[in-house]
């Protein structure tokens, strides 16, 4: 995968905004949503809108590993039966707290928007993600959001579908983030936009899958102590050197902002 303009003298990244904005973004920054941008799993959070803020046992027992999307379809159908409406869901999403330091990271990215192309890949749902990002004031940062389709039907029920089908054995049936990221990079390359580096900020096992495709020029930012971080550590122990990207674990997203800031300083 070609990443940079070898042999082309690029201007200092801090010279005039007009000059920087006339060129394609140099870096692709990929975010997960649940327990990355926000400090909770939004699928668990919306149960706060259910009667008694709880689900009946028969719903909870219906979960099958790898089929979480189908499980959430049953959860939402139950909540619709209980009279939970769009405004109730929206209020819950809007009030989910951002992860520590995430607001600082987004403000840094806002100030340096001409250098970064930012996308979001999440196994949550479009309505919830858009509700939260608009409420937080950061929706416009993202060039594209990839998530499960969601809408409200004629009854006012919140409905959810799978994002796509795929053949990856490591990911849930409805979404492989590696497939999404690979196709996005290929699509942007066809549009003559090639990135010098890719940065991936995530937390879960489904974030580990795409991070394995990153190159030695790229950086993976796994949330410290979460599955993505644990899986990178396990791979390094079992197969040293297989995971190519630089790994920068974070507890607060200010650590991600600080890393990116230092990177930009070195470029000048």
First to last CA, the chain: 25
- The pLDDT-based confidence of 22 (bands split at 50, 70, 90) is low
Does residue 104 carry a catalytic annotation?
A: no
> For 190-216, what is the mean pLDDT?
96
pLDDT tens figures, 59-118? 999 999 889 999 999 999 999 999 999 999 999 999 999 999 999 999 999 999 999 999
Q: Is the pTM here over 0.75, yes or no? A: yes
Tokens of 212: 């394995």
Is residue 118 classed as helix, strand or coil in its secondary structure?
Answer: strand
Flag whether 153 is marked binding.
Answer: no
The 10 Å CB-count burial string (b at 16+, else e) for 114-151 is: bbbbbbbbbbbbbbbbbbbbeebebeebbeebbbbebe
Sheet holding 246-247, edge to edge: 144-146, 116-121, 27-31, 197-202, 219-222, 246-247
Flag whether 81 is marked binding.
Answer: no
Q: Where are the alpha helices (DSSP H) in 26-101?
A: 42-45, 57-60, 68-81, 86-95
Does residue 34 carry a catalytic annotation?
A: yes
Which of 34, 44, 81, 104 is an active site residue? 34
Flag whether 44 is marked binding.
Answer: no
With left for phi above 0 and alpha for psi between -120 and 50, is residue 101 left, alpha or beta?
A: left
Flag whether 43 is marked binding.
Answer: yes
pLDDT reading at 13 higher than 50: no
**105 and 253 Cβ atoms separated by less than 8 Å:** yes
């Amino acid at each position: 995968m070609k990443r940079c303009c070898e042999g082309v003298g690029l201007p200092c990244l801090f010279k005039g905004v007009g000059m920087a904005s006339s060129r394609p973004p140099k870096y692709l920054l990929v975010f997960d949503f649940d327990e990355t941008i926000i400090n909770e799993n939004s699928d668990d959070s919306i149960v706060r809108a259910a009667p008694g803020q709880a689900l009946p046992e028969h719903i909870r027992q219906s979960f099958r590993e790898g089929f979480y999307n189908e499980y959430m379809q049953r959860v939402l159908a139950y909540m619709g039966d209980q009279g939970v409406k769009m405004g109730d869901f929206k209020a819950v999403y809007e009030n989910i707290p951002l992860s520590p330091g995430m607001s600082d990271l987004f403000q840094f990215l806002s100030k340096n928007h001409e250098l970064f192309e930012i996308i979001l890949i999440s196994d949550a749902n479009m309505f919830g993600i858009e509700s939260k990002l608009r409420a937080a004031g950061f929706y416009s940062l993202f060039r594209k959001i990839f998530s499960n389709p969601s809408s409200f039907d004629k009854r006012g029920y919140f409905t959810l579908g799978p994002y796509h089908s795929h053949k990856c054995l490591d990911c849930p049936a409805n979404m492989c983030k590696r497939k999404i990221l690979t196709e996005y990079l290929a699509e942007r390359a066809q549009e003559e936009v090639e990135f010098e580096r890719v940065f991936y900020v995530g937390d879960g096992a489904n974030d580990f899958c795409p991070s394995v495709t990153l190159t030695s020029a790229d950086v993976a930012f796994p949330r410290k102590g979460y599955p993505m971080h644990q899986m990178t550590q396990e791979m390094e122990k079992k197969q040293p050197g297989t995971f190519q990207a630089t790994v920068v674990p974070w507890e607060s997203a200010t650590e991600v902002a600080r890393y990116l800031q230092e990177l930009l300083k070195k470029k000048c």
